[in-house]
Structure 1
Amino acid sequence: MIDILREFQAIIGTLLGVFLTLITTHFLRSTGRVTVRLKTHQLDLSKQDDIGGFEPVYSYKNTENARLNLVVEFYNSSETMKTIDDIKLEFLDNKKKSYFSTKLKDSETAKRLGGGIQMDEITHLNLEPKRLVVKDLSQRFTRENILLLQQSEYLAISYKKRKLNGKLSRKISIDFKFN
């Protein structure tokens, strides 16, 4: 048995070297991460005027409608495609604990319907290797949930990222002082 192994020693060594190189290359290409950065944010407060439109207001006291616009950059630093799911806006208290979350709307999908604008929720994002994706995201708040904006110390963007084993992991990537 040992004599047979000695005869094929070079072949076995070559195959083992190729196999280890393939495994190492796979793991090295998969390393890297998704980074998320808030480029800008703007909060527009408004109330309904006498003719059915909206006029801007500058305090929460008279606000009936609010729109939070976010420009967010997503960057994939690995050499493989990454997917992030379940992108949400999180409302955080002064201890940075989440007490409410809502899905964000993708402004690129805006459609004018009747007297308003409808946008699709952003459900997932496929990030190509070494690419920066800039998304214009927004969320509208009505009279019923304006209180959430008033009470929030911080806002954050959370998402789930699929790991190599297929499981999802929750990440809170951006948090910024809001009020």
Structure 2
Amino acid sequence: MVLLNYIQEFEGIIGAVLGSVSTLIVTDFLRHRGKLNVYIVNKEYNFDTYKSVGCYSNGSEDNDLYGFRLKYTLQVYNSFDVPQIMRNFQIRFYTNDKLIVQEIPRDETTKVYAAHSIHVNEVGVVNINSREAVQLEQSIYLNVEEFQTDHFNKIDLCYLNDKNKLMTIRLYNYTIAFSQSEKIENTP
């Protein structure tokens, strides 16, 4: 009975506090709703030969394969009301669902030419403000010897989001062969 009288005396204050708390909870919930939309706007790959990169190796022909280059451009839009991050980027190459190679891509916007060499930094953390779009230009270069196969049939771009969840974007989903006679991709 005493508790009921006490509640009646402060009924307006208790209602105001409960209303404010519920408003804060709903507002915070709505701010964290959204999606990180990732669009692939450009992607290309090519094979380099010893001749095209100006290298010479004992026992190799000028037209022997030397390396694999992959460049792509992503546009990322953050529809959340709070900033989002993308981190721990990796490019993963698969052959028949078996992981062959994984590498950290390079940030093409950091490319520096100096004294007959090129330096490109690895992709780090990408912070995307709320309701903002960013463009990411990334690449990877691998020597053909790094692959333990003569082809792969799937290339994925993976990263961790702000909740530490692994996100995957499929870049290619068909066979790309290293042999000289099959340098053109096999379309699905």
Residue aligning to 2:179 = none
Task: Please say if residues 90 and 100 of structure 1, whose CA atoms lie closer than 8 Å, have aligned partners that are also in contact.
Answer: yes
Residue aligning to 1:119 = 120
Task: Please say if residues 160 and 166 of structure 2, whose CA atoms lie closer than 8 Å, have aligned partners that are also in contact.
Answer: yes
Residue aligning to 1:58 = none
Distance 1:159 1:117, change over 3 A: same
Task: Give CA-to-partner distance per residue, 1:29-78, whole Å, 9 cap, x none.
Answer: 11112222221211122223399379xxxxxx732123111111222111
Residue aligning to 2:45 = 43
Structure scoring higher RCO (CA < 8 A, sep ≥ 6) equals 1
Structure 1: gaps (5+ residues): 55-60
Distance in 2 between the 1:51 and 1:14 partners?
72
Residue aligning to 1:171 = 167
Task: Please say if residues 71 and 134 of structure 1, whose CA atoms lie closer than 8 Å, have aligned partners that are also in contact.
Answer: yes
User: Are 2:29 and 1:27 equivalent residues in the alignment?
Assistant: yes
Residue aligning to 2:178 = none
Query: 3-state SS of the aligned residue for 1:16?
Result: helix
Task: Please say if residues 101 and 146 of structure 2, whose CA atoms lie closer than 8 Å, have aligned partners that are also in contact.
Answer: no
Distance in 2 between the 1:107 and 1:134 partners?
11
Task: Please say if residues 93 and 102 of structure 2, whose CA atoms lie closer than 8 Å, have aligned partners that are also in contact.
Answer: yes
Distance in 2 between the 1:43 and 1:17 partners?
57
User: Are 2:81 and 1:85 equivalent residues in the alignment?
Assistant: no
Count matched residues.
Answer: 167
Distance in 2 between the 1:174 and 1:145 partners?
21
| Displacement after TM superposition at 1:154 (Å) | 1.1
Runs of 4+ in 1 over 4 A off after TM superposition: none
Query: 3-state SS of the aligned residue for 2:27?
Result: helix
Residue aligning to 2:180 = none
| Displacement after TM superposition at 1:28 (Å) | 0.6
Task: Please say if residues 66 and 146 of structure 1, whose CA atoms lie closer than 8 Å, have aligned partners that are also in contact.
Answer: no
Task: Please say if residues 50 and 64 of structure 2, whose CA atoms lie closer than 8 Å, have aligned partners that are also in contact.
Answer: no
Distance 1:50 1:39, change over 3 A: closer
Task: Please say if residues 106 and 139 of structure 2, whose CA atoms lie closer than 8 Å, have aligned partners that are also in contact.
Answer: yes
| Displacement after TM superposition at 1:86 (Å) | 0.3
Distance in 2 between the 1:50 and 1:64 partners?
9
Query: 3-state SS of the aligned residue for 1:49?
Result: helix
Taking every aligned residue pair, what percent have the same amino acid on both sides?
Answer: 21
Query: 3-state SS of the aligned residue for 1:120?
Result: coil
Structure with higher Rg: it is: 2
Structure 2: gaps (5+ residues): 57-62, 176-188
